[in-house]
Amino acid sequence: MDIIKVSAKSRSTSVAGAIAGVVREIGRAEVQAIGAGAVNQAIKATAIAMGYLSQDGIDVICIPSFTEVIIEAQERTALRFLVEPR
């Protein structure tokens, strides 16, 4: 499963469409964000995706967790959101 990476400049509706599409196709989506602005966009996108999916009768939950990623030889802490059916 590919990770949907969100930045502070990501459009929340576009990310929401990606999340909803992946959940419909694969059954679950993984969203990753580093930094306050990116986390804000990721959470907004997840909420919007929940609305998109509820129209199709799919009730989803969002499970947040921390993960470590390597960016330019530095270890960074990212927030990971797992979106899957309830």
- Smallest CA-to-CA distance from 43 within 6, 2, 70 is with 6
Contact 83, 19 (CB under 8 A): yes
What is the CATH class of 3-85?
Answer: alpha beta
What is the rounded distance in angstroms from the CA atom of residue 54 to the CA atom of residue 57? 5
Stretch 12-22: mean pLDDT: 96
Q: How confident is the model at residue 2 (pLDDT cuts 50, 70, 90)?
A: confident
Contact 20, 28 (CB under 8 A): no
Q: Decide which of 1 and 46 is more confident.
A: 46
Q: How confident is the model at residue 46 (pLDDT cuts 50, 70, 90)?
A: very high
> Is the per-residue pLDDT at 45 higher than 90?
yes
- Domain range summary for the chain, segments of one domain joined by +: 3-85
Position 6: which residue type? V
> Is the per-residue pLDDT at 1 higher than 70?
no
C-alpha dihedral (70, 37, 40, 21), degrees to nearest 10: -60
Crossing angle of helices 12-26 and 36-54, rounded to 10°? 50
> Is the per-residue pLDDT at 47 higher than 90?
yes
Percentage of residues in the chain having pLDDT higher than 90: 94
